[in-house]
Chains A and B, each alone.
Chain A
Amino acid sequence: MPRAVPDAPAHGRAPSRRAPRRAVDRWGAGVIVVAGGAAALAGLAFAGEPPAPFGWASPVALGLALVGMAVIAAASVMHRALQVRRLTSRLEDERVLSTAYSNRVRDLSALVSAGDTINGVLELDRALPTLLEEALTFFHAGSGSIMLLDGAGFLQTVCALGNDRAADARVKMGHSIAGHVALTREPLLLDGEPSPDRFSNLVERDRPVQSAMSVPLIHREEVLGVLNVSGEDGQVFTDHDLQLATVFASHVSVAIANARIFDSARDRLSQLAELNRAKSELISAISQDLKDPVMALSVDLDALRHLESEDERAREALQRIRGHVARLTAAMGRLLAEAESEGTGTPPPSPSASTDLRLLALAVARDFRRGGKPVDVHAHTRCTVAGDPDLLQQVLWNLVENAFQHGAPPVRIEVRSSGDNGVISVIDCGPGLAPDDRKRIDRLASDGATEHVRMGLGLSVAHAIVSGCAGTMWAEDVEEGGAAFHVAIPLAETAREADDLREVSA
């Protein structure tokens, strides 16, 4: 585990004060030498004639002066020695503080580093060994284990390092050391061999542990388990270590809770994927089942056409039914393609087809006119957009049908270009949009809600198709009365340019 101060010992010590003491001793020796010299001179002065350089002074005065000098020198030396001692003590204090700060920084750095490592692993299976390894490295411990509480009130070892016998341990809440810690929610510092009288069902060990810590793993008031750390031979944990272990355990608890959330989310995701696969299979099965009857219907329609009916209306009706069958066949083909792409996890191919909105409007108007529902088309220019013609025909068909059902004739279709989009509008002369309907249409447009507004399922289908073509759909009241539904779809040229740009970027 990276440490902020890699070469520092487990806990830094302030340097010894022996060197400063030697300095003080030297001052003491100096005092003795000066005092001794002065005493010798004084003795000489009292014993006889003063030495030649001091012939002018009386022996007594000389002796007194020398003794006085010795006293002053000694006092000065003593004062300086005292000052040195005070300064030495203060220097030592500062070293103690500096060491204490370094220790604190190292502890915090190690905790941060452990936190980084812990939070970097999300899967519980991978997280647990990492967490335990971090704990053992952090405390320089010999062995340890993580026990998690199961639903039956038992603590089960889920990860053990350095002690194989602890690997399969399972203890009841309240039993053994871990059970006691989980029950009381209090961290425990073990000093010496644990007593079987106090802790029942102790896990056997090859060599009894002399110092160990057992800390509860608690997350949001819930006991998740226990972290056990045992010292190596001769290692003794202190209350300080227990305090650090408690902080460490809070990291571990969060990591375990996160890992459980991640595992649960992953499980849910795979369940959803399975459901999605089942849905795709169902759609595929339904589409396959519909395929044969629709094909039979198509064949029968062809046969009817060759009967050359005299009735013009019957021929028109047959023509319309053929159109419906063609759309139904196309819709089933799309459903099958989507089901297959969802099943394999690959997106359906993007539609590269283009549609001339003017021709589309004319075709739909013709179909409706044949059904006795006249539709005007205002389309003066060609307007080719990126989108499947069958799909867009479905959209326009739904909008026109909606206008006749919920609005009122005359109904008209307008086609125009607007910027990079082709816009097709269906306008009726009915009562317009009710306020509630407008809100629901806005919701549909903004977040794709599938709520069926007054126009029923048709609008939802139309909206889904338009969104699939990277288009937008919206509705508004018309000033003269009635409602207008607009669909804007990127022009084919614009869409191609955008595709080219995406490819170049990729």
Chain B
Amino acid sequence: MKQSSILIVDDEPDILTMIRTALELEGFETALAGDGEMALERVRNRPPDVVLLDIMMPMLDGWAVIEALAEQRRRPGLIVVSAKARAPDMVRAFRMGADAYVTKPFDFDALTSTIREVLARPERDRARYREVMLERLEERAAEL
């Protein structure tokens, strides 16, 4: 059975190493990128199944990467993994095309189950899921 490939994008080396170790133990194939430009280059060279993307990075930040990936005809699943936990950032990420949003610090089990969910979700369902998430977030923002 083909291993699912995950591209981990973060400028923090400890986070890269930690996530790589955890995902390889779960049977995923991993690749790393330390900034946005490197991430796009690795996606171009060998498109992964899922990208775990940090937002706060030097050079090209996560928002620019999401924007660039959204222009691709067949883009990988996109999970934003960020310390930004405010609803406006989450809304922005889903609007730009993120398939899931995990806030730091995160639980590895939760991260791997989110990855599996995104992998299992057919591409045509992703847009619908994003709409649902956006509705929920906006409702929550309105409540607050």
Residues of A within 8 A of B (CB): 10-11, 13-14, 16-17, 21, 89, 92-93, 96-97, 99-101, 103-104, 238-243
Contacts and interface: CB of A to CB of B under 8 A. Distances in A.
Interface of B: 10-13, 16-17, 20, 30-35, 37-38, 41-42, 45-46, 55-62, 84
A10 B57 CA distance: 13
Given A13-B35, A14-B38, A97 B13 contact: yes
A89 B33 CA distance: 11
25 contacts: A11-B35, A13-B37, A21-B45, A89-B31, A92-B32, A92-B42, A96-B16, A96-B32, A96-B38, A97-B13, A97-B16, A97-B17, A97-B34, A99-B34, A104-B12, A238-B56, A238-B57, A238-B59, A238-B61, A239-B56, A239-B61, A239-B84, A240-B57, A240-B58, A242-B56
Nearest to A244: B58
The 4 closest A-B pairs by CB, nearest first: A239-B56, A100-B13, A238-B61, A100-B34
Contacts of A17: 41-42, 45
Nearest to A239: B56
A99 B12 CA distance: 10
B11 A240 contact: yes
A238 B56 CA distance: 7
A457 B108 CA distance: 78
A96 B10 CA distance: 10
Contacts of B62: 239
A82 to B, nearest CB: 12
Given A17-B45, A243-B56, 6 more contacts: A11-B35, A13-B37, A17-B42, A104-B11, A238-B58, A242-B56
Contacts of A10: 58
B56 A240 contact: yes
B43 to A, nearest CB: 12
A93 B20 contact: yes
A238 B58 CA distance: 6
B35 to A, nearest CB: 7
Contacts of A103: 11, 34, 58
Contact of B32 (A11, A93, A101): A93
Nearest to B33: A96
Contacts of A96: 16, 32-34, 38
Nearest to A15: B38
B56 A101 contact: no
Given A238-B57, A239-B84, A243-B56, A104 B13 contact: yes
Nearest to B36: A238
B37 A100 contact: no
A21 B56 CA distance: 30
A241 B32 contact: no
A100 B11 contact: yes
B56 A100 contact: no
B64 to A, nearest CB: 8
Nearest to A11: B58
Contacts of B42: 17, 92
A101 B57 contact: no
B55 A93 contact: no
Contacts of A11: 35, 58-59
Contacts of B60: 238
A234 to B, nearest CB: 13
Nearest to A89: B31
A99 B57 CA distance: 13
A100 B61 contact: no
B97 to A, nearest CB: 18
B32 A97 contact: yes
A104 B34 CA distance: 11
Contacts of A14: 33-34, 38
Contacts of B10: 100
B13 A101 contact: yes
Contact of A92 (B12, B31, B59): B31
Contacts of A240: 11, 56-58, 61
A34 B31 CA distance: 32
Contacts of B45: 17, 21
Nearest to A241: B58
A100 B16 contact: yes
A155 to B, nearest CB: 25
A117 B11 CA distance: 27
A13 B11 CA distance: 11
